[in-house]
Amino acid sequence: HVAVYVGDGMFVGAQNPSTGVAEKPLSYDPPTGAVRVL
């Protein structure tokens, strides 16, 4: 699963094919790792 932090404690990610892309708070699914891509 890949998510993108969009600021203000929120991220967007594709949870599964039925729900599609959704914006959710970081508290919904805390990250286990992160990388920075420039």
Q: What is the pLDDT of residue 29?
A: 73
Q: Which residues pair with 21 in a beta bridge?
A: 14
pLDDT in tens, 1-38: 778 899 999 999 888 889 889 999 988 877 777 788 88
Q: What is the pLDDT of residue 8?
A: 94
Query: What's at 20, amino acid-wise?
Result: G
Nearest by Cα to 6 from 33, 26, 31, 30: 26
Does the global pTM surpass 0.75? no
Q: What is the pLDDT of residue 21?
A: 92
HSE-up of residue 14 (Cα within 13 Å, Cβ side): 6
Average pLDDT of the chain to the nearest whole number: 85
